[in-house]
Amino acid sequence: MKPKTLAPLALALLLVVASLCSAATPAPAVQTRFALPLTDGTQAQAFILAAPDGASYLVYATAAGDLVVLPLGKTQVDPIPPNPTPGKKKIAVIEDPSRSTWAVRQVLAEKSWRNFATQFHTFLGVIPADLIDPETLKPPPRLEPAIKAASGHALPVLVILDQNNQPIRVLALPTSAADLLATLKTL
């Protein structure tokens, strides 16, 4: 059997096992199904299972056929948008440089998340919230959707836009580069 056929089989097997167990215990509900970009450049079919006790699990199969189950903890808000936009996203960090702390500067300077954002998405950059074009006295058109999406939020924020410049999510900037990278990997 080829590795590509193992991934769907692993997911199907998990769903069969879950349905067989449903007679003895309540079956988990599949909340969201989506394509999950992996760090090796491939995509896996993934879904989130909600257990009866309120815990959520991210489940996906790799191209090699490995089944991965990651606990997400007990959440009231689904960590993945219900209808994620396929393809590359536009990523921007909007900040107020005059109020930027040393810890924020360290996170923003880290190359790991920047490299990932550049490789798998369109990274617009770290943008000052008050950036304006001196000729038009308005934000540059390419960056304006991200700056507008961040308005009204406590800075710094991570702004995720679709390819049509529509905001998908505006998140508080994670407090570490590792957490920021992990957040980007969920997009």
Residue range 29-45, pLDDT digits in tens:
444 566 767 667 777 77
Predicted TM-score (pTM) of this structure: 0.55
Residue 49 CA neighbour count, 13 Å, CB half: 19
Query: Which run of H or of E encompasses 172?
Result: strand 167-172
Amino acid, res. 70: L
CB-based contacts of 6-10 (< 8 A; 24+ apart in sequence): 6/61, 6/64, 6/65, 7/44, 7/45, 7/61, 7/62, 7/63, 7/64, 7/65, 8/45, 8/61, 9/65, 10/61, 10/65, 10/66, 10/67
CATH number, domain 90-185: 3.40.30
**Model confidence over 130-185: pLDDT tens digits?**
998 888 899 999 999 999 999 999 999 999 999 889 999 999 999 999 999 999 99
Average pLDDT over residues 105-122: 91
| pLDDT in the model for residue 60 | 74
Q: What are the extents of the domains in the chain?
A: 3-74, 90-185
